[in-house]
Amino acid sequence: MSQKVLVINGPNLNLLGKREPDVYGAESLASIEDKCQKRASVLDLEIEFRQSNTEGEMVDWIQQAEDNFDILIINAGAYTHTSVALLDAIKGTTTPVIEVHLSNIHQREEFRHHSFISKAAKGMICGFGGFGYEMALDAASNILKNG
C-alpha cells in the first residue's frame, strides 16, 4: 500500500510562472504537481497537492495531516518568515515535515533568511526551483523507509 504525502503550498504560489519568473522560474504550480505525481508513482507514494493564500487554512491542513498522511512537504511561501502559527501547528503533530523553497532564501533579502518552519522540519530543500519538490519526494521516501 502506498504511503501518503501531503504537499502544502502557501500564498502566491498559485501565481508561479507569472510572478517574478526571474526569481521563481517560469514553471506553473500545476506543472510542478504533474512532475511530482510522476515521481511519486515511481516511489510508490500517493501525493495530494494543496495551495492556499490563507494562513488559518494551512494550519488546519497541518493539524489534519497526522490522521490522513504519513509525511508533509510544505512551501509556506512568505509565511515561512512570519508565521509562528504554522510553526506551532507543525510542532503539534508527529507527522514528519520537509520544507521546500523554489529560490535559495539565504541569497535573498535579509528578512527571508529566517524560517520559522525550519525549527520543526526534518530538513529543508531550497534553491532548485520546481525540482526541489521532486527532491523532497525522494527525501520523504527515504524518511518513510528508514526513519
133 is catalytic: no
Looking at 79, 81, 101, 133, which residue is catalytic? 101
> What angle do the packed helices 131-146 and 29-42 form, to 10 degrees?
30
CA separation for the pair 109, 85 (Å, rounded): 22
* Active-site residue flag, 24: yes
| Residue 64 Cα distances to 15, 27, 29, angstroms | 26, 29, 23
Cell numbers placing 136:
523532497
The single residue of 24, 106, 113, 114 carrying the catalytic annotation is: 24
The residues annotated with a catalytic role in the active site are: 24, 101
